[in-house]
C-alpha cells in the first residue's frame, strides 16, 4: 500500500506558473511534474506540514479511534486550500487525491513510526528523495 501512496503523490500534476494540473483529463495548458524527480516544493509546503499534523492529531488516541469522516474532511480542507495556492482547480485536486486519506490511515496503522517525525511521514508519502 505504501507504494500506491507514493505513486499517487509521484504522479500528481503540479501547476505551472500560469496554469494548474491533472491527469489525462486535465484542461489545456496544464503541465505535469514527476515527483519522483523532486518533491521538494511539496515537502516544504505548509499544507503538507499541516496534513502531517492533522494525521498526528487523528491518531492521537490510537489507530482504532481515528474518526475517518473528520480526517477526510480535514484532508479536503487542507488540499482544497493547497490547490488554490497552486492555481489548480480544487475539484481536480480532490479527484486526484481521493484515496490518500484512506491509504495514509493504512500506512500509519501498519507502521505507527510514520508519525514519529515529519521526515518519516515524507518518506512514507513521497518515497526516498535525492
d(CA 98, CA 76): 9
SS3 content of the chain, % helix, strand, coil (to 5): 60, 0, 40
Greater confidence, 86 or 49? 49
In the DSSP assignment, the letter for residue 18 is T
d(CA 49, CA 44): 8
In the chain, what is the straight-line distance between the N-terminal and C-terminal CA atoms, in Å?
A: 22
* 129 pLDDT more than 50: yes
| CB distance 120 to 52 below 8 Å | no
Greater confidence, 10 or 14? 10
Provide the pLDDT confidence category of residue 26 given band limits of 50, 70 and 90.
very low
Domain segments of the chain as ranges: 2-14+22-126
pTM comes to 0.75
Provide the pLDDT confidence category of residue 96 given band limits of 50, 70 and 90.
confident
Amino acid at each position: 500500500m505504501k507504494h500506491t501512496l507514493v505513486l499517487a503523490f509521484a504522479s500528481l500534476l503540479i501547476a505551472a506558473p500560469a496554469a494548474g494540473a491533472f491527469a489525462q483529463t486535465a484542461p489545456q495548458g496544464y503541465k505535469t511534474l514527476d515527483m519522483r524527480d523532486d518533491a521538494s516544493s511539496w515537502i516544504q509546503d505548509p499544507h503538507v506540514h499541516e496534513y502531517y499534523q492533522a494525521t498526528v492529531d487523528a491518531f492521537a488516541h490510537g489507530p482504532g479511534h481515528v474518526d475517518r469522516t473528520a480526517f477526510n474532511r480535514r484532508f479536503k480542507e487542507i488540499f482544497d486550500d493547497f490547490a488554490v495556492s497552486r492555481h489548480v482547480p480544487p475539484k481536480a485536486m480532490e479527484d486526484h487525491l481521493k484515496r490518500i486519506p484512506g491509504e495514509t490511515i493504512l500506512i500509519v496503522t501498519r507502521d505507527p513510526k510514520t508519525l514519529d517525525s515529519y521526515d518519516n511521514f515524507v518518506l512514507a508519502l513521497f518515497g526516498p528523495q535525492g
